[in-house]
């Protein structure tokens, strides 16, 4: 029986993660000849601290343990979002190579060790060739693309970077890459929170009364990088990632399933101090975390709305429907 669906989120951007001063985004992808995958790299200013919260039951990640607040190194040199499932995590080594060439990393005798956490979505085989997946060279290409951008450059959205082979609804509809940003209010009006999302979800856009899809063949994950110019500790960055998962739940149904690898990274460039009211010192942090959740919601909806139809030898994926269709 046909089921009515809501009008899908439209691709009207609400700002970009690059509205956070100093944040740069680079992307590389391959399409055709068995390929439908890519890499997105977020490169923050030197000295940026970061943390992460992984909520999905099937994550593919690299160096997320290094972002725990109790570990040695608080800074992050780049964050890699990639297709290719666990295989695609090899792209992080290409980004590390770029960082080393540019002397970015934790100083050690003889050189630096770049801190480059990464997370992957499952898009294996969507281009027709299971072995066509991101590697170190594609990661390096994405890092070079980030370095070539100017501050505040627009981020390409939809079927690009790690969103190239993304799908939603258990692999039924095309997913993609989206971005958004928000500013805090009042005394903290100079604080910006930006989000970049790769939407490869088991779920579909959440709307009241709309049933979640039945399980499909596709494996899933939604990946997010949050960035802010506010000064945060590593512990505060981790708690911001945790709070921001609420935005994922507002955007998609279901989320955080056993088959998802839902992950949110938070980066703090530390350029602006939060103005904290002595009568309620946590108020500014609550406002920032609320903005973070909303930026995540907007970025996810942007990624779905910006996705375009694609066909490969493995199948065809249309944007999420806004008309009556069965799923």
Query: Mean pLDDT throughout 116-145?
Result: 98
Q: What is the pLDDT of residue 327?
A: 34
Residue 76 has pLDDT above 70, yes or no: yes
Q: CA-CA distances (angstroms) from residue 84 to 6, 74, 125, 175, 200?
A: 31, 28, 9, 15, 12
pLDDT in tens, 134-174: 999 999 999 999 999 999 999 999 999 999 999 999 899 99
Q: What is the pLDDT of residue 12?
A: 45
Reported as a pLDDT band with limits 50, 70 and 90, residue 322 is low
**Does the pTM of the predicted model rise above 0.85?**
yes
Encoded tokens for 306: 């910006």
Say how far residue 160 (Cα) sits from the centre of its chain.
12
pLDDT in tens, 236-260: 999 999 999 999 999 999 999 888 8
Closest to 288 (Cα-Cα) out of 12, 11, 20: 20
Report residue 193: phi and psi, to 5°.
-125, 120
Encoded tokens for 264: 């949110």
Reported as a pLDDT band with limits 50, 70 and 90, residue 227 is very high
Reported as a pLDDT band with limits 50, 70 and 90, residue 220 is confident
Reported as a pLDDT band with limits 50, 70 and 90, residue 13 is low
Q: In the 8-state DSSP scheme, what is residue 66?
A: G
**SS3 call for 244:** helix
Query: Mean pLDDT throughout 36-56?
Result: 97
Identify the structural domains of the chain with CATH numbers, from first to last: 17-308 (3.60.70.12)
Q: In the 8-state DSSP scheme, what is residue 153?
A: P
Distance CA 168, CA 162 (A): 14
């Amino acid at each position: 029986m046909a089921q009515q669906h809501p009008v899908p989120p439209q691709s009207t951007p609400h700002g970009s993660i690059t509205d956070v001063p100093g944040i740069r985004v680079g992307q590389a992808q391959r399409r055709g000849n068995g390929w439908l995958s890519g890499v997105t790299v977020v490169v923050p200013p030197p000295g940026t601290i970061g943390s992460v919260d992984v909520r999905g039951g099937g994550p593919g990640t690299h160096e997320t343990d290094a972002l725990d607040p109790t570990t040695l190194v608080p800074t992050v040199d780049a964050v890699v979002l990639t297709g290719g499932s666990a295989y695609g995590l090899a792209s992080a080594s290409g980004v590390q190579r770029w960082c080393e060439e540019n002397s970015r990393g934790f100083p050690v005798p003889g050189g630096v060790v770049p801190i480059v956490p990464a997370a992957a979505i499952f898009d294996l085989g969507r281009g027709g060739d299971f072995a066509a997946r991101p590697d170190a060279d594609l990661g390096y290409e994405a890092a070079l693309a980030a370095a070539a951008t100017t501050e505040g450059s627009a981020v390409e959205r939809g079927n690009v970077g790690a969103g190239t082979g993304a799908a939603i609804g258990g692999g039924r509809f095309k997913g993609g890459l989206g971005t958004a940003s928000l500013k805090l209010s009042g005394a903290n009006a100079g604080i910006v929170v930006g989000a970049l999302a790769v939407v490869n979800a088991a779920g579909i856009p959440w709307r009241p009364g709309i049933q979640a899809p039945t399980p499909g063949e596709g494996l899933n994950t939604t990946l997010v990088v949050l960035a802010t110019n506010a000064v945060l500790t590593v512990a505060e960055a981790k708690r911001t990632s945790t709070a921001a998962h609420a935005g994922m739940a507002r955007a998609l149904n279901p989320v955080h399933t056993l088959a998802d690898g839902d992950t949110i990274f938070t980066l703090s460039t530390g350029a602006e101090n939060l103005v904290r009211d002595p009568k309620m010192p946590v108020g500014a942090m609550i406002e920032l975390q609320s903005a973070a959740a909303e930026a995540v919601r907007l970025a996810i909806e942007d990624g779905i709305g910006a996705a375009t139809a694609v066909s490969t030898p493995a199948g065809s994926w249309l944007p999420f429907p806004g008309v009556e269709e069965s799923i």
